[in-house]
Amino acid sequence: MPAQGVAPARPERRAFIRAPPALNEAPDPKHRQTRIMARILITSAIPYINGIKHLGNLVGSQLPADLYARYARARGHEVMFLCATDEHGTPAELAAAKTGKPVEVYCAEMHQVQADLARGFRLSFDHFGRSSSPQNHRLTQYFAGRLAENGYIQEVTEKQVYSRADNRFLPDRYIEGTCPNCGYDKARGDQCENCTKQLDPTDLINPRSAISGSTDLEVRETKHLYLRQSLMRDELEAWIDSKTDWPVLTTSIAKKWLNDGDGLQDRGITRDLHWGIPVKKGDQDWPGMEGKVFYVWFDAPIEYIAAAAEWAEANGKSEADWRRWWRTDEGAADVRYVQFMGKDNVPFHTLSFPATIMGSRDPWKLVDYIKSFNYLNYDGGQFSTSQGRGVFMDQALAILPADYWRWWLLSHAPESSDSEFTWENFQQAVNKDLADVLGNFVSRVTKFCRSKFGEEVPAGGAWGEREQAVIEELGTRLTAYQAHMEAIEIRKAATELRAIWVAGNEYLQAAAPWAVYKDDPAAAAAIVRFALNLVPFYATLSAPFIPDASATMLEAMKMANADWPTDVTAALERLASGHAFAVPENLFRKISDEERAQWQADFAGQR
């Protein structure tokens, strides 16, 4: 579990910046072609409420979703980007109990902490909701009722551990004991965190309640509701098979769960807990289910829909305004729905949640594309919340601004395999990519212009073959960059973006206006004018990755915004001679070897 606590006080940061509206046109550097604006619904896996997330959590869902949302907005698409906190279930109750606070108070506080951290990382959600919202209560109960009406719910009597001292049934995670496999004395009733062996509560040696520590436990019968996923197996398989463009990671996990062992199993959707959405059949009581709540993995994905309803209420919109994103009979037929998540969440999003929607037999929008991620490891091992090993979101923002982290995480996103964060690699990426390549280019051209021509774009001279060659290269790379962004190939997109930055640096170094100026000030002016125009060009293309630096570049160039370039030549003529600018402070500072060594020691464990 991610560590608990509240983010430390940090210097005030600007509100997160969204990419400006873009021209509705294609990227060809030589031609302009009309593009049809799309409607894109984006959700990222909702983070659990019980603490602050580490960087591995961030890069596995929310951050790449934000990258895609910013890019889609910049291209002129209509975007709805939703996320929320996942607030129900066993860990929330246990975490609240440890703080001595009522669970609803704890969840409200931690929701605010996570919302603040999302703003700190410039995550541009249209709405950041809560799975405990009234909207999610109503929708979860509605879906359960529809599933029951259509024969997809079965009542099952099963045996479960009961604590006399706590006067309640104990879910598997509420039971602790000694692992029979490795001897770890804090193994949970579902899995040993130490050796990862899957367990049943009855496997534990000396089992005890995780709430009170009592060993006065017994096995009793209880009744629960099961979602009959097995009845929809063929329908789910046909739907998954139709998604030929899904990443291999997503499809392979979905099919493994679909076909593993005895095939797709029915799943329990209720629990004997106090905190959660009460079990109802629509707005009617459910006989025999009194005092029970829906399982967190049943209600959590429904919060994607509920978050849109929350957005409407928070922004004075109508019910029709949010339903046009989710109901195919009310306007969502032309919506492209894209989900982002870590690979451990794939089974629920490819099987259980689609089964819930399909089983309702109502025209709700199913996901079109699922971008899943492998794991980000930490410096030779794994992130560990319990050991405080690794960098958590609040800690990251306390030592460096968001753009530093955004660039490294996205350019090293664990797409095709697990990736690893090391401080040496982080230092190298910041110092070389951000400081030496992009930051150095902006600093050199603006400072040189100020020293020779003042703080305005100089007149004189004309472009030649060198500039035309750069335009051709940028046009080719822009097309490739956009293709990777459209395909959500994040690391490849980052590689192209860096190459675009490098092209400007290499141009400036080869053109050498500081040398040309001595004999031909007009020719030097043309070089500087061309290079200065690269600054807003870079700002626009870089905004999805590093929004704050992008805003700083545009501000320095005294531009309120810059449309997405559809014609490279035109884009590099936007700043005419006489246009005023300011020399920005260094966009990025370098990380020293001493800092790197200190941070490596600080985050080795014991948060």
What tokens were used for 107? Answer: 């969840």
- 385 labeled part of a ligand binding site: yes
Contacts of 344 (CB under 8 A, 6+ apart): none
Listed residue (50, 42, 128) closest to 88, CA to CA: 50
Dihedral through CA 289, CA 291, CA 297, CA 303, nearest 10? 100
Angle value at C-alpha 456, between 454 and 458, nearest 5 degrees: 85
Q: Are strands 335-342 and 39-44 parallel, antiparallel or unpaired?
A: parallel
* Dihedral of alpha carbons 161, 163, 167, 170, sign: negative
What tokens were used for 336? Answer: 């492209």
Q: Which three-class secondary structure state does DSSP give residue 429? A: helix
Report the alpha-carbon distance of residue 121 to residue 142 in Å, rounded: 35
Q: Are 401 and 16 in contact (CB under 8 A)?
A: no
- In degrees rounded to 5, what are phi and psi of residue 178? -90, 130
Q: Are 169 and 220 in contact (CB under 8 A)?
A: yes
Angle value at C-alpha 495, between 492 and 497, nearest 5 degrees: 110
* Dihedral of alpha carbons 80, 365, 305, 244, sign: negative
Listed residue (474, 456, 468, 458) closest to 534, CA to CA: 474
Report the alpha-carbon distance of residue 170 to residue 222 in Å, rounded: 11
Give first-to-last CA distance, the chain, whole Å. Answer: 13
- 83 labeled part of a ligand binding site: no
Q: Are 447 and 508 in contact (CB under 8 A)?
A: no
Q: Are 127 and 310 in contact (CB under 8 A)?
A: yes
* Dihedral of alpha carbons 519, 523, 525, 530, sign: negative
- 107 labeled part of a ligand binding site: no
Annotated binding site for Zn(2+): 179, 182, 192, 195
Annotated binding site for ATP: 385
Annotated binding site: 179, 182, 192, 195, 385
